[in-house]
Amino acid sequence: MTDLLTQLKLRDNPPLADMHTVAISGMGPVGMVAALRLARLGHDVILFEAGAGLSDEARASTFHPSSLEMLDELGVCDDLHAVGLKAPKYQYRDGFGKVLSEMDMSLLAGETKYPYRLQSEQNNLTAIILRVLETMPNVTLRFSSPVARVELADRHVRIHLEGGDRDRPVLARWMIGADGAASPTRKSLGIAFEGATYDDRFLVISTTHEFRDDFPDLAYVSYISDPEEWSVLLRTPNHWRALFPVRDGESDAEAMSPEAMERRLQRVAAQPEPYEVVHRNVYAVNMRAAATFAVGQVLLAGDSAHVNNPLGGMGMNSGIHDAWAATEVIHASLVDGVDPGHAGRLYSELRRDVALNHVQARAQSNYDSMREDDDSARAARANELSEMDKDEFDKREHQRGAAMLTSLRITLGRLKRELYAGRAHTPSAGERLSALLSQGPVTAAGAYDGISAALVERSGFKAAYVSGAAVSAAALGQPDLGYIGLAEMAEQVRRIAAVTDLPLIVDGDTGYGGVLQTGEAVRRLEGAGAAAVQFEDQLAPKRCGHLAGKALVETEEMVAKIKIAVAERNSILVIARTDALGVDGFDAVLERAAAYGAAGADLVFAEGVTSREQLTALRNAVGQGAARRPLMVNLSEAGDHSDLPALPIAYEAGVGLLIQPVSAVLAAAEAIAAVYHRLRTTGESGKGTEDWAAFTDVMGQNDQLARASALAATDTNR
């Protein structure tokens, strides 16, 4: 009996030495990217592939800038370029060959190293990564090893292979299921694959014909909308691919017959000789997503988690992004002690949202647009594309979405801000602010007490800023010269947080002392209800940011403050402010901002920097690609921000948060002074019962009295 109990105990709680760190099912591009990143991070990885070797299927062939940035970080981008073709432009055309809109991705050159699509078959990438993995001692490659089922245990995963010993499964602390749309991993865990199958199937024809001889201005990626039969022309390094819909009533064999393929190709560009076809295939198209992307310590990525139509080339790229996010959460759990349950839930929430609301939504929009057969709707779409051609900002924003930069930045931005937060039953203030920042620029109006906070919320703002200057003025009657201490600020934040559910961004001055005091400030302010805290690099006693005569601490001291703030916080966001512009100039701003971003600040704020050119340079200094930190801009009446561009342009330049810290306290002071003058000179305030009623309504007096009456009546009736 003892031996049996021991065996059962070891089965349910095996020693870590008996486990692989991470197991990955599937050696397609998604699984291989995940494996390489985890291996480069130092983790032990085992990969399973059902086939005897890598698949030579070249189904996906478009790599977007967002994915190229990741592959560059992994050290395989140059090799992929050697077997790829740059496609800096893509076009929308009608069936008559007219260009409705041309997107030149060089417009994104200021925000990505790769302002183009790279056309290269997916099997090129897997072969490149395989050569690297074969040299790594912490990687085990298992071909001809199809996963049959997966079982969850308390702290590990049991993986059963087809034909393997059922009593000796492979054990791993984490697993990534990247085993395709028919994923045995997903099925064995009972996860529903929700969605639908298209009525159309898609026919892909590869031909050696050079379509640029027919259309000299043809982009390497061209979407051709037509009421009778839409198509896509896609150039790969070796040939052109043409994609067409296959309607009901036409079998796969009929669609792939020489006559049917010739008819479709001739309709694109009539030729005196038959087209040379080197490959053809018909496949069904699904729009599906798993009900969850994470169960226990198993994460789903790529086609095992979601599938969509190929219009826009987002399927493989989205899977690569899944892989990157999956490795982020696994690494955080294994190395930094992040709760595995929280990590998995956050991964599922963020990547599933991207799959449904970005990838599938855009793919469906592309599909609907290209197959539209209503003349008025087609004309409206053509006009929309034509108008977009005239607006550089709209074209850039469209390209960010098409290049998947937008969706990736949402995922990685929120991961960085929320991964180390203990997940509560309801989102914390920091998490709510993080979610707002992912949706676009957030403007926070100043609140310095309970009534101003209630009015900020009633006015429709989504966040409030608690200014040290405003609190110092309202509570102490003192200017912004460092008179407010941590205890007073924390208590004021606590009072304001009790009045409003808006996320509060709090001015933490210099951290109220040195490095250790900054850590305490984070704990106290987060406990009081703050969503974010801003620390500045001034030497204490600090001065208002718009005053001359400021002095700065050494960069190393400010970096240490940021690091302790990040280490001590639960979910509060950390904003690093530099006042270097007026002290040491803009180059010093960039140097300090880069150091503060690298230290872990969630947002960066450079006092006095508001021009488009400087904001863009600052944005580029505080992180590259999807890892860039949002910028904060101060719209205080105490300074000049007249060179701030329009909000869409500012957002493009990296601005994620704008604060108007003292508008309300200025208005209040002016109004109070005016009414006091009126009282002294006329004996009348100019206010009456209606004003009092409106004032008490802001505080909810009538609602509170009604509630008290209702409770009293309930107690009486018992």
Distance CA(455)–CA(205), nearest Å, equals 62
Residue 632, helix vs strand vs coil = strand
How many of the other CB atoms lie within 10 Å of CB of 268? 25
Return the structure tokens found at 608. 């006095």
- 713 within a domain of the structure (yes/no): yes
Same domain, 25 and 140: yes
- 500 within a domain of the structure (yes/no): yes
pLDDT for 246-265, tens place per residue?
A: 988 889 999 999 999 999 99
Tell me which amino acid residue 616 is. T
pLDDT at 9: 46
Same domain, 591 and 705: no
Q: At what angle do helices 689-698 and 701-716 cross, to 10 degrees?
A: 70
Same domain, 485 and 369: no
Distances (CA, A) of 185 to 141, 175, 284, 318: 18, 9, 22, 19
Same domain, 331 and 445: no
Last residue of a domain, one of 386, 413, 440: 413
pLDDT at 371: 66
How many of the other CB atoms lie within 10 Å of CB of 690? 8
- 237 within a domain of the structure (yes/no): no
DSSP tally for the chain: helices H, then strands E: 27, 27
Residue 446, helix vs strand vs coil = strand
The contacts of residue 212 (CB under 8 Å, 6+ apart) are 218
pLDDT at 226: 80
Return the structure tokens found at 535. 């620390």
Per the listing, tokens 């971003």 go with 597
Distance CA(389)–CA(442), nearest Å, equals 28
Indicate the Cα dihedral angle 219, 222, 225, 230, nearest 10°: 130
Same domain, 486 and 606: yes
Per the listing, tokens 């190293």 go with 113
pLDDT at 361: 78
- 34 within a domain of the structure (yes/no): yes
Q: What range defines the domain where residue 164 resides?
A: 19-195+286-413
pLDDT at 229: 83
Same domain, 406 and 479: no
| CATH number, domain with residue 606 | 3.20.20.60
Residue 188, helix vs strand vs coil = helix
- 207 within a domain of the structure (yes/no): no
- 231 within a domain of the structure (yes/no): no
H or E element in which residue 603 lies: strand 603-606
Distance CA(133)–CA(47), nearest Å, equals 10
Same domain, 407 and 439: no
pLDDT at 529: 94
Residue 718, helix vs strand vs coil = coil
Last residue of a domain, one of 413, 444, 467: 413
Distance CA(352)–CA(371), nearest Å, equals 27
State which residues of the chain have pLDDT below 50: 1-2, 4-10, 423-425
- 698 within a domain of the structure (yes/no): yes
| CATH number, domain with residue 127 | 3.50.50.60
Same domain, 404 and 303: yes
Confirm if 105 and 75 have CB atoms less than 8 A apart. no
Question: What is the domain count for the chain?
Answer: 3
Same domain, 530 and 625: yes
Residue 203, helix vs strand vs coil = strand
Same domain, 496 and 403: no
pLDDT for 6-46, tens place per residue?
A: 444 445 566 666 688 999 999 999 999 999 999 999 999 99
pLDDT at 535: 95
pLDDT at 311: 75
Q: At what angle do helices 515-528 and 486-499 cross, to 10 degrees?
A: 20
pTM: predicted TM-score of the whole model, two decimal places: 0.74
- 239 within a domain of the structure (yes/no): no
- Helical ranges in 500-645 per DSSP H: 515-528, 555-568, 581-584, 586-599, 612-621
Same domain, 398 and 502: no
Same domain, 560 and 592: yes
Confirm if 341 and 333 have CB atoms less than 8 A apart. no
Confirm if 316 and 30 have CB atoms less than 8 A apart. yes
